[in-house]
Chain A
Amino acid sequence: MTAQILARLAFLCVCFLAAGCQTYSLVQPARVTVGDKLSIEPDIAWNKRSIENAEIWTVDGEALQALHLYKGLEDGDTLFVLTNSEKQEKMPQYSKTMSLLELREFIEASIVQSGFTNLKSLKFKPTKFADKDGFRFEFTFSNTNGLRELGFAAGAQSGDRLYLVLYRGAKLHYYGKYLKNVEDMIRSVQLAWASAIL
């Protein structure tokens, strides 16, 4: 019996020591702040967990759909932090001097470097993001198991930082399930820094 309890505790410790294994908390449909500058207003409830430079939101599980809300990438930051240090070294780093085309290359290369395959670029357009001149591009790729996914990135550079939202999900059902909610939510993004200037 004692051995069982010990084993269970050991197991839980292992779990919590492993990166990316935090508990999820509830996001209510009301304006919330992500990091120190970006705020956003979801119209449905989400589950979220925090990683170093972003929050990851999901409704049905990250394997099915995930929304990455970046708190503002700074010079030298990587889009994803991989547990494999050798691969992490190859992760492209953000630079504030990146052009729009370079930003897409940065984001797409990060996706490829984290092990996704069959990446294909889709529509790439200029668009407003929190009243700033931003961008939006779509892409499709496969996970390691060959499940087709769709995704898009929307964001803008402001005050040396890149504010970015990345949404991805299984092409079958899950990407489309909350696409409209995500689109509406992105239109609600505000950057506190911008309003302070005004």
Chain B
Amino acid sequence: MSLQRGMLWLVVVGLLVSGCQTISLGTREHLWTDSNNRRVLLMPADIELSVLNAGGVTEPNAAWTEKAKKLAFESLQEKMGETSATLVSYDEKSANPDPDSDEVQLLKLHQAVGGSIMLHKFFAPLALPTKKESFDWTLGPAVATLREKHAADYGLFVFIRDSYASGGRAAAIFIGAVLGVGIQGGTQVGFASLVDLKSGEIVWFNRLARGQGDMRNEKGATETIALLLNNFPK
């Protein structure tokens, strides 16, 4: 299991050096055909901002994280408005705390599914031959629990890790450049996925990986979310 997590990080690093900032996959162009107001449930957003210290260890920053979460929610709200949907947030306090409940298990299953998509769709050496042409991951029919409890049509999962080089790291990058050693600066990696709460199907998935971006201010957060929602179905 830990090997798999290690692999996942290798994939992320690989993506960073590979160049392109986002890649999205999807199964449908339109989320709905009628114009009724629809609800998109934002699952607990896993966002974390940190400082990248000179030594290359990331140190979490609570103030930035708190602010980025708020900015991300506002930005996502606006984006959903563009597709005539309302963004509703998932109240973690009202969730069933039983580890075996569908609610808890669905969150864990999504982590496993998201990890599998990252591993097998975005990393060529681990591509699955049967899924070469298809994109058909799902959370299964248990999503009905979420649909009924939150009266929502879709579930949106967001994961972002954003780090910024500290002054010391910047100095190390500079010295490294002089010595001809490449040192990685701050990075922004993440993924988002949209789940149809009727079927469980993952209808859209996007991953983000780049060496810039800044979620600490409104403009930067809006830009990041726009990139994260690249090719989001209308």
Contacts and interface: CB of A to CB of B under 8 A. Distances in A.
Contacts of B137: 60
Contacts of A148: 100, 105
A61 B3 contact: no
Contact of B112 (A21, A47, A147): A147
A173 B10 contact: no
Given A58-B128, A61-B116, A145-B108, A21 B142 contact: no
A143 interface: yes
B113 A15 contact: no
Given A11-B10, A59-B130, A146-B99, A170 B112 contact: yes
Contact of A63 (B14, B105, B116): B116
Interface string B25-56: 00000000000000000000000000000000
B106 A18 contact: no
B168 to A, nearest CB: 22
Interface in A144-190: 144-148, 170-174, 177
A144 to B, nearest CB: 5
Interface residues of A, number: 41
B182 interface: yes
A166 to B, nearest CB: 16
A147 B13 contact: no
B113 to A, nearest CB: 7
Contact of A145 (B17, B102, B112, B129): B112
Interface stretch (A23-31, A100-108, A124-132): A23-31
A35 interface: no
A61 B1 contact: no
Interface size class of B (residues with CB under 8 A): 35 or more
Given A15-B7, A148-B105, A25 B113 contact: no
A18 B105 contact: no
Contacts of B10: 11, 14-15, 18
B7 A173 contact: no
Interface of A: 3-4, 7-8, 11-12, 14-16, 18-21, 23-26, 45-47, 58-64, 83, 115, 143-148, 170-174, 177
B138 A173 contact: yes
A147 B4 CA distance: 15
A15 B126 CA distance: 10
Contact of A8 (B18, B108, B127, B128): B18
Given A15-B10, A18-B7, A143 B139 contact: no
Interface string B83-124: 000000000000000011010111011011101110110000
Nearest to B7: A21
B142 A18 contact: no
A144 B131 CA distance: 27
A58 B102 CA distance: 24
Contact of B4 (A14, A25, A47, A63): A63
